[in-house]
Structure 1
Amino acid sequence: MRKSRCWRPCAYDSTVELDDLDWKLLDLLQRDGRMTFTELAKRVSLSAPATTERVRRLEQAGVITGYRAVVSPQRLGLPIEAIVRVRVRSLDTPRFRERVVTLPQVLDADHVTGDDCWLLRVVCRSMVELEDFVEQAQRYGDTTTSLVFSSAARGRPVTREVFEGPGR
């Protein structure tokens, strides 16, 4: 089996080597985290105990960091989704993290480079709630808000092709 190594400097101290079976398991679990070990074993042509051991090894190595249910905010009465970009004043960053990033409307919060410091994905029940949220964020800097019409790609699995890079 072919093993993969990081093809450029990695952000972590150590790189976990993965073989073809590891990548197959990761692909299957990212697409369906509820798949049983028996079903996984069938799909990768291993015994259930061997499959269980490989998955546990991937968990212990920090490659698999968790499992979760994917929930529809719209079906729960949260029809407004927005991207809020915030240029936080540097001295206000700790308070921004504490008071805005922790708000329940925030689904994702990325500290980024560029003109904006933060990229927040938020969901709200109404435009009034979104306006209140943006006003809270504006206490710490300038904001730009974009409503999400639709999402063409979200939650895609990390694949071997992404890991190895184009043309490898």
Structure 2
Amino acid sequence: MGLDDVDWRLLELLQTQGRMTFSELGRQVSLSAPATTERVRRLEERGVITGYVATVDVTKLGLPIEAIVRARVRSLDSARFRETILPLPQVVAADHVTGDECWILRVVCASTAELESFVERTQRYGETTTSLVFSSPVRGRSVRKP
């Protein structure tokens, strides 16, 4: 896959400032705008860059309750869990993992009552453990050159 230092710098910049113009990106990495555009397009074509997103403050959307819900889903219920729980709007991230709990969900809710309802719905597929998030000092950290 071989990325050079310029590719890594472009990735770093785009991960933190995804709306940067090609001209500004080029200035930051000492390339012309057309050369920068070509580099970014190659990274997109290779699947290194998979998309661009806006970062949203969920509390300003009226979703102040954030929780981690760990679920131990019974194997027979796995497909239904994926079809029923993962698409719910409260689920903002989901990881299928090894260990005692096979799913780790990050959810956002408007109230503790909504969280309770979500957890009860999730428990139809197995045991859960829920932790409220106090703060997230590291979130969405950019991938950097090793």
The 3-state SS of whatever aligns with 1:156 is coil
Is 1:34 paired with 2:10? no
The aligned amino acid for 1:33 is: G
Residue 104 of structure 1: which of 53, 75, 89 is its match?
89
Distance (Å, rounded) in 2 between the aligned partners of 1:117 and 1:76: 30
> Normalising by the residue count of structure 2, what TM-score does the alignment of the two structures yield?
0.99
Residue 55 of structure 2: which of 57, 63, 70 is its match?
70
Measured against aligned partners, the alpha-carbon deviations of 1:104-145 in whole angstroms (never above 9, x if no partner) come to: 000001100000010000000000000000000000000000
Residue 138 of structure 1: which of 115, 123, 130 is its match?
123
Measure how far apart 1:82 and its partner are. 0.1
Measured against aligned partners, the alpha-carbon deviations of 1:9-35 in whole angstroms (never above 9, x if no partner) come to: xxxxxxx11001001100110110000
The 3-state SS of whatever aligns with 2:85 is helix
The aligned amino acid for 2:11 is: L
Q: What does residue 3 of structure 1 align with?
A: none
Measure how far apart 1:79 and its partner are. 0.3
Residue 104 of structure 2: which of 119, 124, 136 is its match?
119
Q: What does residue 35 of structure 2 align with?
A: 50
Is 1:153 paired with 2:133? no
Measured against aligned partners, the alpha-carbon deviations of 1:67-124 in whole angstroms (never above 9, x if no partner) come to: 0000011010000000000000001000000011110000001100000010000000
Structure 1 runs of 4+ with >6 Å offset = none
Measure how far apart 1:152 and its partner are. 1.0
RMSD of aligned alpha carbons: 0.4
> Normalising by the residue count of structure 1, what TM-score does the alignment of the two structures yield?
0.86
Q: How many residues align?
A: 146
Structure 2's unaligned 5+ residue stretches are none
Residue 7 of structure 2: which of 22, 27, 30 is its match?
22
Distance (Å, rounded) in 2 between the aligned partners of 1:100 and 1:82: 15
Q: What does residue 7 of structure 1 align with?
A: none
The 3-state SS of whatever aligns with 1:41 is helix
The 3-state SS of whatever aligns with 1:63 is coil
Distance (Å, rounded) in 1 between the aligned partners of 2:119 and 2:19: 37
